[in-house]
Every structure is written in structure tokens, then in C-alpha cells.
Amino acid sequence: MTLDIVQMVLVTVLTAATPLILAAIGELVAERSGVLNLGTEGMMVLGAAAGFAVATETGSTLAGALGGAGAGLALSGLFAILTVGLAANQVASGLALTILGLGLSGLVGTGYVGMKRDPAPHLHLAGLSDLPLVGDLLFGQDAFVYVAVALVLGVWWFLGRSRAGLVLRAIGDDHTATHALGLPVRKVRVLAVLFGGACAGLAGAYLSLAYTPFWSPGMTAGRGWIALALVVFASWRPLRVAAGALLFGGATVLQLHAQAAGLGLPGQALSALPYVATILALVLLSLGRRQGGSLAPAALGREFTPHR
Amino acid sequence: MAAVPSPAAGTAPLYGAYGIVKRFGDFKANDGVDLEIRAGEIHALLGENGAGKSTLMKILYGLLEPTEGVVTHKGDIVQLPDPEAARAIGIGMVFQHFSLCENLTVAENIALVMPKTLSGRALAERIAALGAAYGLHLDPARPVWSLSAGERQRIEIVRCLLQDPRLVILDEPTSVLTPGEAEQLFSVLERLRDEGRALLYISHRLDEVRRLCTRATILRHGRVVGACDPQGESARSLAALMVGAQVGAVTGRAGAALGPPRLVLDRLSLPAPGLHGTALADIRLTVRGGEILGVAGVAGNGQAEFFSALSGETAAARAEAVVVDGAAVGRLDINARRRRGAAFVPEERNGHAAAPGMSLSENAVLSRHATAPLARFGLLRRGAARTLAAAVIAAFDVRKAGPDPAAGTLSGGNLQKFVVGREIQAEPGVLVVNQPTWGVDASAAARIRQALIDLAARGAALLVISQDLDELFEIASRIAVLHAGTLSEPVPAGETTREAVGLLMGGSHA
């Protein structure tokens, strides 16, 4: 195998991982604040439809990306009103959000099925991008990829190093205690959910603007669910989310190559590989649980109503 | 009723609350409460459960907004929209159920309420300095889940003191401490008082109040019913002020005529059930008919695990580990044990002893279907269940609204009377009770204790797990101590002292 082919495989792994990283890092922040939003798939697919529509109407990929993120943000706002404001059940609301997102995306995208546009422009730095093996991988990607990397590092710094991140983690651990200390439990949770929504929308926009630059209904194909599993897989750590997403992206790419190479296995079995990896990861994670404390944010999925 | 705040700052108390009314729907938790707190005093706030102590405290700390009334600081009316505002005028609070995040470290928990600009290193230095000054030592890097109740309270106190408060509110601070830890706390509190700070001390332990406090405000049904100097009162007269009537002393201590062994534990050992659980090690015990064996201990030393091993919620490894009336039941489930004449009252009223959303008669079915004819051919006999519930309600004076209300609508004391009465009504040969009067007011507690003593006098063997030493010395004929999952040798209550039991609770074998 030549260096070029290795690099090509690595690039496809990275691009397959990018939507997972974007969606999972947003969901991670929401879950660390104690809110389980199962609507990632819905917010992603709406982001894909809205992103493609806005980009087509304005002719600007940037506007499309913002539109996608905005659509995810709006849908997560609805979720925040329900679960944080009205203390509705988070699991039921999240599932409803996915169904709503899938329906709405069909509506928004009706006029755009079958249209094509150029994929988001890639970075090109003279000299650097032409380096063998790493040139294209490091210096020749589109802006979404760099944003995803920046978000992972930013969230890692925010949660681990900043005071606001500490407050967010504390609220995810025990909303009763933090409320008693006078910390703004609901405000922080709303902001965390909105961040998660915007990230999921952006992940969807990446799919319809860069990964496969067209819109087709249901094009997220379960990536939102993979992102949810990734957060658990990564045991709620940002850097592990990135590593896990690359692993899952790798499994997807491997599956494509294995099919192309004509292995004796049916394509469906290979397509199931990333999902099997998720289940295995969950099992291993449960087996290797550390003693004391809890891995998950302790208040995850629990509704909170302050008395006043 | 509502006194006008004194305009002259010189004579005004450090903090005052005047005409405080707090309504939750139709219910008035506070009804025109006045309270004045002066610098350099430890002021006691006394009252039964539901008297409105916690509500008043939360209003002072900015957690609740009063429906009517004002809070003053040095004579000026202040608004306390949130705890941050309360902290800004020097009010600090040590919570009863600690407001700590278990998965964060000690330093992170403290940083949550400290100024935003403080660096981690500077904070660690201040924690160490304060720890040295007051003897409150903490390891800033430890996660809270790995700490004992006493250590957790130290975090709360350090966090409060780091803000240099002028008023420290303490809600039932000794309820989870060993007597030794409580002693340490008292010396810190006395020192804070001598520094000129004000302390508001909420406790139902009247001995502590008499020792520490020079002024007390007594609440009953949300109203102030009196003020006194606790040092001039007896524990008995304070209790009478709180309850509004003389509390009947429990009579007829059990243990006069002992019957045969009815509950025998032989080398009962169980592994820890989970991350936070305690393993039980080699517990041996014999409880005879006619006696009440008291099991003392600080919460978290295996009480819950011990109770579930006795009740059958956790099966023992060997059947002979638990013997009820001669039958080895260690491998049997809870209903099989009930059919052999055992009965169990767990600690949690809501959710363990009773299902809060179900009616009292349905709750009677939940624990009695194995021992009373409440079903026929697998179908419920609702009439029989209602009769059973009514019998319990009448026998134990359970106050309730409506004929058969949901268990969750009863007050704590009344629901506790119901769940204890439900088991006693079966006339069990063996009764195991975990925290029989936890969080129950004095009159209901007296009634429950009397019922336990009467049951023992009728020949039953009782095992009572309690953190309340006064309660155990009042009713138990022998007392053993559960510490870190091991049970000490039971000693007759008349031959031991609170101090000796307290030492065992702290893990000392001196």
C-alpha cells in the first residue's frame, strides 16, 4: 500500500468521525449538566435539512452551517422548555424530539430532494497540504473538521479547568445540593441543552454540506444514536469522545472497504459492525467499573423542580 | 403580631425576621414568626417535625421567599432573592442533608461558592489554614463519596467559615455524628460564638441545646409559642413547650421474664452490595422472647445491609445464618419469613415501607398478604384489606384526611405509626425495626416506643436498629453496636453508659 492510499483511508476515517464528534461533544455537555437528550438524531437530521436549504438559498456554505446549527438549537430549545422548564420526563421528550425532527426535516427538505451543490471548500496551504502521508490529513480538510477538533479541546478545557465548567459538573452531579447553594441549576441546564442542540445541528449540516453534499430524507442514518452511545462509551470524557468517534468512523470505513474487497460476509453484517462495537463497548465499560463514586453524572435524567 | 423593626441601628439585633408568613398552597408553614439573633450568642430554634423550623431557615438563607414579612440586617430591611445575597450579608449555612456533590473533590465542592477569582492553589492554602486554626482537617483532593459523615460535615463547616460569616445556621448538625464527633463540633461552635459570631442552632436533641444555647425560640405549627433560656429549663420542660402537652413517659421496660430464643443469627456474613455498601462480617446474636435488643450505630455502618439480611431482601449464604423460632430461614424470601412469624419495618417510610401513591388499605395488602386472609384465588379482598387498615388506624391513632387516603398524604409521624402498627397488628413473634422513630415528632415517637415495649411484653422478640441513643436506652433491654459491618457483644442497657456505647459507635473498643 502506498502512502497515498494510507492517507486516503485515514482521511475517510476522519470525515466519517467528524459528524459523530460534533454531535457527541454537544450531547456530552448536556449530559454532564444532568440532562439526557435522546433527541440527537432528530436535531441532527433537522440540521441537515435546514443547513442544505439555507446554503442553497443563500449560496453560502457558512450560512448553511449556521442555519443547521440554528435549527438544532431551536429544536433543543423546545426540549429545554419541556424537560428543564416543565420538568417533563427526559426520555419520553427526547424520543418525541427525534420523531419530530425526522418529520420536520422531511417538510423543510421537500423542495431540495435531488439537488446537488459543491461540497464545502477544503483548506489548502501551499507546501504543507502537499506533504506526504499527513499533508492532506492535517492541512487539507474542510472547516467542519477543524471546528470539531476545536470544540473537543474547548469542551475539555471548559469542563476540567474553568469555574463555569465546575458549576456545570456539580449541577449534573446533584441538583438538590447545588440548588441549595444558590447555583442556577435550570439556567445552566438550559444553556447546556442549547449547546448540545447547536452541535447536533452542525453535525447534521456537515452531512448535507460536506460529507455527501445533497439532502435526502433520513440521511443521518442513525448517527445520532451512535453519538449518544459514544458519550457513554467515552464515560463522559471529551477526549475519549474524539477517540471513540475515530474508532467508530474506522469501523464504518472498514466495513465499506471490506464490502468492496468482496469478503464472503453479507453486507448487512458488515454494516452492523459499528453498532456491535457500541454494544461491546457498553459491556466492557460496565465490567470494568471502578470502585466508589459513579461514572455517569449522578443526576443524569432526573427531573428537578425547585421550591420557591 | 409583627413587631416593627427597630429603627435605631445601635439597639437593633444583628439579624431579625419579623412577621414571616410562608404559604404552600393552603398550608401555612410559617405564620407570623418573629426571630431576633444577636452577635455572640448561640440561639436555639426548637420545634417538632413540621413546626416550620426548616422553612424559616431557608427564608433566612434566601432559598425560599416569604409570602409576607421582612428579614433585617443591623436594623435595615434586606431582600434575599438567592443564597448568594444571604452570603453577601454574612449568613452561612451548614445543611442537615449535606449539600455536597459526591463525585467532586473536597476542593471543588468548596470552590463552588467561593469568589470566582480564587485560584485552586490559593483555595487549598486557605482550606489548610482554616483547618489548622479550628482543628478541621481536610484533604482537598479526596472525592466526597469516599468520606464519612463527620468528614462531610467538616467540609460544610469549612466552606461556610471560609466566607467569614457573621451568622452560621446549623440544621440538626449532630444527627449523623458519633458522640465524639459531636463533642468536637461543640468546641468549634463555642469558639465561633466567642469570636462574636451569631449561631442559629436547630436540633431536636434537647441536651445539646441546654448545653450550648443561651436563648431559644420555640415553634409549634408555624407559630412562635415561646422563648426561654434553655439552661434554666429541663429537657422535659423544653419538650413540653415544643409539643404543647406533657410527653408521656414510656413505661414498663421489657425484659422482666425472658422466653426462649426466637431470633438467632449465626455467623451471618454478606459481601458489600455495591459501591457505597458495607459488608457484614460474622454477626452472631440471640434475641429471646420478651426482650428488645437495641442495635446502635452511626448511619452507613451496615444498618441497611443488616436489615435486608434479616428481612430476606438479601438472602444469606447459609440457611442457618438466620433462624426464626427454630426454623432456618437464611435462604428464604421475605414472605416465607413472614409466614414463620417474623415482621419487618424498614427505615424509609415512603418508598420502602409504604408506596406513597397507593391507599392505606392497599399498603396494608403489600406487607400483609402473606399473613392475613386478604386474597382469595389470587383476587384481592378489598373489604378485608380496608378492615385491616381501619383496625391499624384505630389502634395507633393514625391521623389522616378521608377514609382511605394515599399513604404519601400522611405526615411522617402518622405514616410511621401506620407502618409500625401494620406489622404489630399481625402479632409477630419476631419484629425487626430499622429507625422506628426517625424524623417523627415526640408524641408519635412515644406512642410507637410504647407499642414496641407492649409487643415484647406479650412475648415477642424485638430487634430495633436506631441511631438515637436516647431511644435505645429508653426501650432496649440489651444494646449492641454495629460498626463497619460488625456487631459488638450485646450488653444489658442498665450496665452500660451512653459514653461506652458512643465509643463503640466510633469504632473504639476501649
DSSP B172-193: STTTTS-HHHHHHHHHHHHHHH
B298: its cell numbers: 452511626
Provide the mean pLDDT of chain B.
85
Provide the mean pLDDT of chain A.
88
Q: Is the pLDDT of residue B479 over 50?
A: yes
Which of A113, A59, A112, A101 is CA-nearest to residue A76? A101
Backbone angles phi, psi at A291, to 5 degrees: -80, 135
d(CA A39, CA A27): 10
Give the per-residue pLDDT at B115.
Answer: 76
Residues 260-279 of A with CB under 8 A from B: none
Residue B88 contacts A, CB cutoff 8 Å:
no
Give the per-residue pLDDT at A200.
Answer: 97
Contact check, Cβ <8 Å, A174/B100: yes
Which long-range contacts does A104-109 make (Cβ < 8 Å, 24+ apart)? A104/A42, A104/A46, A104/A49, A104/A75, A105/A42, A105/A45, A105/A46, A105/A48, A105/A49, A105/A50, A105/A217, A106/A49, A106/A217, A108/A46, A108/A49, A108/A50, A108/A53, A108/A71, A109/A48, A109/A49, A109/A52, A109/A53, A109/A215, A109/A217
Q: Which residue is closest to B116 within chain A, CA to CA?
A: A163
Of B103-107, B421-425, B441-445, where does mean pLDDT reach its minimum?
B441-445
Q: Determine the 3-state secondary structure of B388 from DSSP.
A: helix
Q: In Å, how far is B214's CA from the nearest CA of chain A?
A: 29
Beta-carbon contacts of B5 under 8 Å, excluding residues fewer than 6 positions away, are: B12, B16, B18, B70, B72, B75, B77
Contact check, Cβ <8 Å, B112/A169: no
Q: Is the pLDDT of residue B5 over 50?
A: no
Contact A189, A305 (CB under 8 A): no
Give the per-residue pLDDT at B177.
Answer: 75
Reported ipTM: the value is 0.83
Beta bridge partners of B380: B375
> What's the burial of A208, exposed, middle or buried (CB within 10 Å: 0-12/13-18/19+)?
buried
* Chain B contact probe: residue of A31, A161, A173 with most B CBs at under 10 A: A173
Q: Is the pLDDT of residue B427 over 90?
A: yes
Q: In Å, how far is B69's CA from the nearest CA of chain A?
A: 15
Q: In Å, how far is A57's CA from the nearest CA of chain B?
A: 45
- The DSSP bridge pattern shows strands B322-324 and B486-487 to be unpaired
What single string gives the DSSP state of each residue in A256-279? HHHHHTT-SS-HHHHHTHHHHHHH
The per-residue pLDDT for range A6-64, each reduced to its tens digit, is 888 888 899 999 999 999 999 999 999 999 999 999 999 999 999 999 999 999 999 99
Residue A293 contacts B, CB cutoff 8 Å:
yes
Per CB-CB distance under 8 Å, the chain A contacts of B100 are 174, 177
- The closest CB to that of A180, out of B95, B102, B146, belongs to B95
Residues 72-101 of A with CB under 8 A from B: none
Residue A298 contacts B, CB cutoff 8 Å:
yes
Per CB-CB distance under 8 Å, the chain A contacts of B109 are 170
The mean per-residue pLDDT over the stretch B314-330 comes to: 92
Give the per-residue pLDDT at A53.
Answer: 96
Give the per-residue pLDDT at B254.
Answer: 45
The mean per-residue pLDDT over the stretch B186-198 comes to: 92
CA–CA distances in Å: residue B294 to residues B216, B291, B319, B510: 32, 10, 24, 20
The mean per-residue pLDDT over the stretch A158-187 comes to: 92
Contact check, Cβ <8 Å, A298/B87: no
Give the per-residue pLDDT at B49.
Answer: 65
Contact check, Cβ <8 Å, A180/B109: no
Q: Is the pLDDT of residue A293 over 60?
A: no
Q: How confident is the model at residue A171 (pLDDT cuts 50, 70, 90)?
A: very high
Q: In Å, how far is B355's CA from the nearest CA of chain A?
A: 20
- The closest CB to that of A307, out of B64, B82, B87, belongs to B64
Q: Is the pLDDT of residue B204 over 60?
A: yes
Q: Is the pLDDT of residue B50 over 70?
A: no
SS (H, E, C) B368-380: HCCCCCCEECCEE
Q: How long is chain A?
A: 308
Percent of all residues in chain B with a pLDDT value above 90, rounded to a whole number: 41
Count how many pairs of residues, chain A against chain B, have C-beta atoms within 8 Å: 75
- DSSP structural state of residue A77: H
Q: Which is more confidently placed, B361 or B177?
A: B361
- The closest CB to that of A163, out of B116, B145, B146, belongs to B116
Of A83-87, A99-103, A104-108, A285-289, where does mean pLDDT reach its minimum?
A285-289
Q: Which is more confidently placed, B238 or B156?
A: B156
- The closest CB to that of B104, out of A169, A179, A291, belongs to A169
Backbone angles phi, psi at B292, to 5 degrees: -110, 120
Domains of chain B: which residue ranges? 7-243, 261-341+428-505
The per-residue pLDDT for range B243-287, each reduced to its tens digit, is 665 555 565 554 457 889 999 999 999 988 765 678 899 999 999
The mean per-residue pLDDT over the stretch A276-282 comes to: 74
Contact check, Cβ <8 Å, B275/A291: yes
Which of B370, B316, B317, B378 is CA-nearest to residue B344? B370
Of A255-264, B360-369, B385-394, where does mean pLDDT reach its minimum?
A255-264
- The closest CB to that of B102, out of A173, A180, A308, belongs to A173
Same fold, B7-243 and B261-341+428-505: yes
Q: Is the pLDDT of residue B404 over 70?
A: yes
Residue B75 contacts A, CB cutoff 8 Å:
no
Q: Which is more confidently placed, A143 or B351?
A: A143
> What's the burial of A165, exposed, middle or buried (CB within 10 Å: 0-12/13-18/19+)?
middle
Q: Is the pLDDT of residue B9 over 50?
A: no
Amino acid, single-letter form, for residue B498: R
Contact B367, B422 (CB under 8 A): yes
Contact A24, A231 (CB under 8 A): yes
d(CA A215, CA A218): 9
Q: In Å, how far is B406's CA from the nearest CA of chain A?
A: 22
Give the per-residue pLDDT at B246.
Answer: 52
Q: Determine the 3-state secondary structure of B282 from DSSP.
A: strand
Give the per-residue pLDDT at B275.
Answer: 59
- DSSP structural state of residue B231: G
A190: its cell numbers: 438550559
Residue A305 contacts B, CB cutoff 8 Å:
no
Domains of chain A: which residue ranges? 2-288
What is the CATH number that goes with domain B261-341+428-505?
3.40.50.300
Per CB-CB distance under 8 Å, the chain A contacts of B113 are 181-182
Q: In Å, how far is B31's CA from the nearest CA of chain A?
A: 17
Backbone angles phi, psi at B24, to 5 degrees: -115, 100
Specify the CATH architecture of the domain A2-288: Orthogonal Bundle (1.10)
Residue A239 contacts B, CB cutoff 8 Å:
no
d(CA B493, CA B501): 10
Q: How confident is the model at residue B8 (pLDDT cuts 50, 70, 90)?
A: very low
Q: Determine the 3-state secondary structure of A223 from DSSP.
A: helix
B142: its cell numbers: 479526596
CA–CA distances in Å: residue A308 to residues A182, A236, B59, B81: 12, 32, 10, 10
Per CB-CB distance under 8 Å, the chain B contacts of A181 are 83, 99, 112-113
Q: Determine the 3-state secondary structure of B112 from DSSP.
A: coil
CA quadruple B312, B315, B318, B319: dihedral positive or negative?
Answer: positive
Q: Domain B7-243 is classified in which CATH homologous superfamily?
A: P-loop containing nucleotide triphosphate hydrolases (3.40.50.300)
Give the per-residue pLDDT at B29.
Answer: 84
Q: Determine the 3-state secondary structure of B284 from DSSP.
A: strand
* Chain A contact probe: residue of B101, B109, B119, B275 with most A CBs at under 10 A: B101
Give the per-residue pLDDT at A167.
Answer: 95
Taking each continuous run of H as one helix and of E as one strand, the counts in chain B are: 16, 23
* Chain A contact probe: residue of B112, B146, B153 with most A CBs at under 10 A: B112
Residue A174 contacts B, CB cutoff 8 Å:
yes
Give the per-residue pLDDT at A217.
Answer: 93
Per CB-CB distance under 8 Å, the chain A contacts of B86 are 182
Give the per-residue pLDDT at B445.
Answer: 87
Q: Which is more confidently placed, B214 or A189?
A: A189
Q: In Å, how far is B391's CA from the nearest CA of chain A?
A: 37
Contact check, Cβ <8 Å, B109/A170: yes
Contact check, Cβ <8 Å, A298/B116: no
Percent of all residues in chain B with a pLDDT value above 70, rounded to a whole number: 93
Backbone angles phi, psi at B454, to 5 degrees: -65, -40
Torsion of CA B253, B255, B261, B265, to 10 degrees: 60
Contact check, Cβ <8 Å, A181/B62: no
Residue B109 contacts A, CB cutoff 8 Å:
yes
The per-residue pLDDT for range B211-247, each reduced to its tens digit, is 889 899 988 888 898 888 888 887 777 777 776 655 5
Highest averaged pLDDT of the listed ranges A38-42, B43-47, B58-62, B206-210: A38-42
The mean per-residue pLDDT over the stretch A190-198 comes to: 97
d(CA B345, CA B419): 7
> What's the burial of B389, exposed, middle or buried (CB within 10 Å: 0-12/13-18/19+)?
buried
